[in-house]
Amino acid sequence: MKRDKNGLSLGVLLLLSAIIGVAIYLYNSSLFERAVPVIELHSNDYWNLKDPLKITIDDNSGVQSYKVTLKTANEQKPLNYEQLLEPLKSLTVSLEPIQSAYSMKETNIKIIVEATDASKWNFFKGNSTTKVFDLKIDKTKPQVNIVANSYKITKGGAALVIFKATDDNLKDIYIQTSFDKVFKVQPFYKEGYYISLLAWPVTQNSFKATVVCTDKAGNITKSYIPLYLKEKSYRSSDIKLRENFLKGKIAQLAQVFDETQGTENSLEQFKIINEDVRAKNEKLIHEVTSKISDVMIKDFKINKMYPLKNAQVVANFGDHRKYSYDGQYISESYHLGLDLASIAMAEIRPQNSGDVVYSDFNGLYGNMQILHHGLGLYTLYGHCSSVNVSRGDFVNKNINIANTGKSGYAMGDHLHFGVLVQGLEVRPAEWMDKVWIKLNITDVIDKSKEIINRS
C-alpha cells in the first residue's frame, strides 16, 4: 500500500478529511444550531394574579417544548407545559393563573420558564435553557375617593374636581371622558390628593367623566364624578357668502397661506381657508394649551376675566356658522371664542397673571398671544395689531400685553378672546362671572381643604 512520507496511507487521509468535512458541515448546519431559545416575560415585575401573563419564546430552529412553573418560598406549582407537534420559531404563551394562586399570601414569587428547541445539537436533544423571573404580587386595587367637585357643568363650560387616590404601587391617574378626551391631574394640597379642571366641548352632546387609577400590577379603579349636566343651546348662523367678501378678504388671505397657492376659484379658496387652514391653526392652539404641571399646588386663585375695557360683544362663543353661496352649502365652522370690540387698537389687559406660552402669528387668528394661568387654564388673544410680550415672559395682571387689531381673519378691529382647559375651548362668559368662579372654583377648593384637614 502506498504511504506518504509520514507513513499514513492515502485512504486514511481521505477518511480523516471526510470526517473533518462532515464535522465542519454539521457544526455550521442550521439543523445543528447551538443558540438556546430566547425567553421574555412581558411584565413590569408586578402581577395581580388575575390578568394573564404574556411570555414569548423565540428560536431559529423552532421551539419544541416549554414548561412554566410558579415558585413560592414553600412550594412549586406547574402552570403550563406543552410538547409541540410542529416546532414554532416564535411562540406566545398567555399564562392564566391557577385558581389556587389568588389565595396565596406571598408577596414575592418566581416564574420559572424552561424551553427546548428542535435543533439536532446535543446528540439530537436540542438546546435547552431556563430563565427565572422575580415578580411582586399585588392584588389590591387603588383607592379613589371624590373629595369635592363643582355641582354642575354646562355644555360648552367647565368644572372642577378634587379627589384622593392611594396605592402602594401607583402608576397612572387620569380622568377619562365619554368623548375620549383624557384630562391630566395635578397633585393638590397634601400627598395623595389631586385636582383637575374639566371641560364639556360645545360640539359634544353628552358628558361623563370618570377618575381612572391604575397600579403597576394592572389593578384598576374607576370612580364617576357626580356632575349635574346642564344643557345649553348655541346659535346656528346661516351665512351667505358675497362676491365682495370672496374677492376682497378671502382673495387677500389666499395670497398668504401655502394651502391656497395655485387655487384660483374663490369658493375653493374660502373652503380651504375655513377648513384646512383653520384646522392647522387650531391644532397648534390645542397642542400649546394641552400642558399641565405635575408640581403640587396648594391653591388656585383666579380673578374674573375681562381683558378689554368698555368693550361690546360682537360675536358669541359656540356660534355654529354654516356658509352657502347661491343656495349651495359650501362649508361650516364653530366660533370658539368671544369677539370683543371697543376703540381701534385698544389696550388688552388680562386680569390674571400668567406665563406667555405663545406670541406669534397664527393664520386665521393673526397675531396671537396665549397665557397660562396654571392648572391647565389658558387664555387666548387673537387678531392683535401691536404685541408687547414674547414667549417665555411672565406677565402680571393688568399689564398691556397687546392691542386689538385686524390681523388674520378679521373684518374689523376687535379682540378674539378665548379660554381653554387642557386644549379644549370653553365659554369665556363663565370665567368673566365673579359669582360663577366663586361657586365652581373657589368654594370647591375651600371645601376640599376643610375635608382634607379633617382626615
What integer pLDDT is reported at residue 33 of this predicted model?
87
What integer pLDDT is reported at residue 427 of this predicted model?
98
What integer pLDDT is reported at residue 323 of this predicted model?
96
Average of per-residue pLDDT across 135-156: 96
Domains of the chain (ranges, CATH numbers): 39-137 (2.70.50.50), 143-232+445-454 (2.60.40.10), 236-422 (2.70.70.10)
* Closest to 69 measured CA to CA, from 140, 130, 149: 130
Give the other-Cβ count within 10 Å of 73's Cβ.
9
What integer pLDDT is reported at residue 6 of this predicted model?
52
Q: Kindly report, residue by residue over 245-274, the tens digit of the pLDDT.
A: 999 999 999 999 999 999 999 999 999 999
Tally of residues, the chain: 455
**Distance of alpha carbon 418 from alpha carbon 426, whole angstroms:** 8
For the whole model, what pTM was predicted? 0.88
What integer pLDDT is reported at residue 1 of this predicted model?
45
What residues are paired with 175 via a beta bridge?
183, 211
**Distance of alpha carbon 83 from alpha carbon 64, whole angstroms:** 6
Taking CB atoms within 8 Å and a gap of at least 24, the contacts of 237-246 are 237/319, 237/320, 237/321, 237/322, 238/322, 238/324, 239/321, 239/322, 239/323, 239/324, 240/323, 240/324, 240/325, 241/267, 241/270, 241/323, 241/324, 241/325, 241/330, 246/270
Give the other-Cβ count within 10 Å of 229's Cβ.
12
User: Where is average pLDDT lowest: 96-105, 202-211, 356-365?
Assistant: 96-105
Average predicted confidence (pLDDT) for the chain: 92
Q: Kindly report, residue by residue over 285-315, the tens digit of the pLDDT.
A: 999 999 999 999 999 999 999 999 999 999 9
Q: Kindly report, residue by residue over 19-69, the tens digit of the pLDDT.
A: 665 555 555 556 778 889 999 999 889 999 889 999 999 999 999 999 999
Q: What angle do CA 293, 294, 295 make, to 5 degrees?
A: 90
